[in-house]
Structure 1
Amino acid sequence: MTIPRHAGLEALLDDPQGAVIGLDYDGTLAPIVADPAAARIHPDAPGVLAELAERVGGIVIVTGRPPGTALALGTSDSGPSLSDVPGLVILGHYGLERWESGRITAPPPSRGLEQVRERLPLIVDGFDGVLVEDKGQAVAVHTRTSPDPEAALEALRGPVAELAMETGLVVEPGRLVLELRPAGVDKGRALSRFLAERKARSVMFVGDDLGDIAAFDAVVAAPIPGVRVCSGSAEVTALAERADIVVDGPAGVVDLLRTISGRVAGR
């Protein structure tokens, strides 16, 4: 593919060893599907990431999922899996959990989550097709499989927000999903900490959903060149409006990463 000209991207290509590439998982590396447990990674993504990891300063996946789930869904029947990407770091639960070198580190779960696990099924009872996903450090409500996903989402916003307030949690909205999680964590803070840790000299972040806006803001706020890439979606336009580059879903993300890897190798 042809890479659009952008100062942040040029900085990455000129000094790849100083670059950090951050990526969301769902909708970015994996297509959005009705059942979140079936969100398998694009088959070419692990191989492309493995090549790119040898040529840049760092690759980090910043996701709302637990790192172990992202790894499980990032397996491949043929070729490399996410766990084979050299030096890969996965910051799960918006940075609460970290996977690196085969080890996960995490703080104890928020006490409010126990109340959520008890009460949330009662709140969604009566909404056909609505799924509750327990992520360990967060609990999410998915309406994608409901007969009327948008109506179910709107009807649940108020009760879910009240439950979050009562339990000291916050609600993270996404594509037909409402996630209850601890306050004080988001993808922007997680990305900013990682950039400082790696002493990054440039950054690219690729996302697709509302939860990635904080990471986009972190790219803008960082005192280094940066580029924001949106994995395009008809469901979420807010991110595309803030992006420097828009690609066509996970396949477009893989093509962009492959092109960047080739350009870096050719220099």
Structure 2
Amino acid sequence: MKAILNDPAGAVIGLDFDGTLSPIVPDPAEAVIHPKAPAVLARLGARVRALAVVTGRPPATVLELGPGLADVPGLVILGHYGFERWENGRISAPPPHPGVPRVEAELQLLLDSLGLREVMVEDKGRAVAVHTRRAPDPGAALAALREPLAKLADKHDLVVEPGRFVLELRPPGMDKGQALSLFLTERAARSVLFAGDDLGDLAAFEAVRACGLPGVTVCSGSAEVTALTELADLVVDGPEGVVELLDELASAISAA
């Protein structure tokens, strides 16, 4: 953290969205960014080299669920684990992977065959997520889905990304660690902070460790995931704690 405070103009701040800037909710469509986050990010974005939201969500969805984010200075949204990018009002992306619609077409039949009618399928455009949080036993439903979804993903040249009561089928070749690493190089970062809450953020934590820059990893803590807690430099209390930390960081930079 000292390197960021001493040289904020060289710092890149990377942030997950769900569970980090936005509380986890049963229906992902009803997620909303922490009410204080846009203003705090605007203060911070004006003082650091760049802010990057690195998420499995499409950038357009992040902007919809995060009113005010489009006005945050220096903000870039690396959506779909880095496959899709929003910057300065524009979205750029490669062509969609053909396996995604094929998986989605077969998914409901698979769920019916397993008797899992209370799980929720989320069409993310370039990926498909299966959420078990609404099932009577979310953990058992997740366990029952792991092998069948792995086989379905492999059939269509996709990979499975596990998360908090969710399994996401998405294209291979990119993860949050790769997306963050490429962004750090692009922006010639001199220090980095990354905050996340879920298993998909482990790759970004590893990227911070491997990049050779002064770095800080922050876990948005929860009782559902402990793997990040053990690896983080700092652990805070969910999105509320993340926003408080960023607010304190912005204030400390301003006072320096």
Aligned to 2:60: 68
Q: Kindly state the Cα deviation for residue 127 of structure 1 after the two structures are TM-superposed.
A: 1.2
Within 5 A, what are the aligned runs for 1:71-110? 71-75=63-67, 81-110=68-97
Partner of residue 129 from structure 1, selected from 104, 118, 139 = 118
In the superposition, the TM-score normalised over structure 2's length comes to 0.98
SS of the residue 2:180 aligns to: helix
SS of the residue 1:64 aligns to: coil
Give the whole-Å Cα distance in 2 for the aligned partners of 1:246 and 1:129: 33
Within 5 A, what are the aligned runs for 1:145-164? 145-164=134-153
**Greater than 2 Å deviation, 4+ residue runs:** none
Partner of residue 229 from structure 1, selected from 218, 222, 235 = 218
Aligned to 1:112: 99
Partner of residue 38 from structure 1, selected from 16, 23, 30 = 30
Give the whole-Å Cα distance in 2 for the aligned partners of 1:53 and 1:114: 37
Give the whole-Å Cα distance in 2 for the aligned partners of 1:160 and 1:174: 14
Give the whole-Å Cα distance in 2 for the aligned partners of 1:87 and 1:54: 7
Give the whole-Å Cα distance in 1 for the aligned partners of 2:165 and 2:94: 28
The reply on whether 1:198 has 2:187 as its aligned counterpart is: yes
Give the whole-Å Cα distance in 1 for the aligned partners of 2:178 and 2:100: 22
Partner of residue 19 from structure 1, selected from 11, 15, 40 = 11
Which ranges of structure 1 fall in alignment gaps of 5 or more residues? 1-8, 76-80
Q: Is the 8 A contact 1:128 1:147 kept in 2?
A: no
SS of the residue 2:100 aligns to: helix
Root mean square deviation of aligned Cα: 0.6
Q: Kindly state the Cα deviation for residue 68 of structure 1 after the two structures are TM-superposed.
A: 0.3
Give the whole-Å Cα distance in 2 for the aligned partners of 1:62 and 1:156: 26
Q: Is the 8 A contact 2:49 2:74 kept in 1?
A: no
Give the whole-Å Cα distance in 1 for the aligned partners of 2:228 and 2:100: 29
Give the whole-Å Cα distance in 2 for the aligned partners of 1:42 and 1:207: 14
Residue type matched to 1:59 in 2? L
Give the whole-Å Cα distance in 2 for the aligned partners of 1:128 and 1:181: 22
Q: Kindly state the Cα deviation for residue 123 of structure 1 after the two structures are TM-superposed.
A: 1.4
Residue type matched to 1:247 in 2? V
Q: Kindly state the Cα deviation for residue 207 of structure 1 after the two structures are TM-superposed.
A: 0.1
Alignment length, in residue pairs?
254
In the superposition, the TM-score normalised over structure 1's length comes to 0.94
Q: Kindly state the Cα deviation for residue 128 of structure 1 after the two structures are TM-superposed.
A: 3.4
Give the whole-Å Cα distance in 1 for the aligned partners of 2:53 and 2:245: 16
Which ranges of structure 2 fall in alignment gaps of 5 or more residues? none
SS of the residue 1:83 aligns to: helix
Give the whole-Å Cα distance in 2 for the aligned partners of 1:153 and 1:18: 41
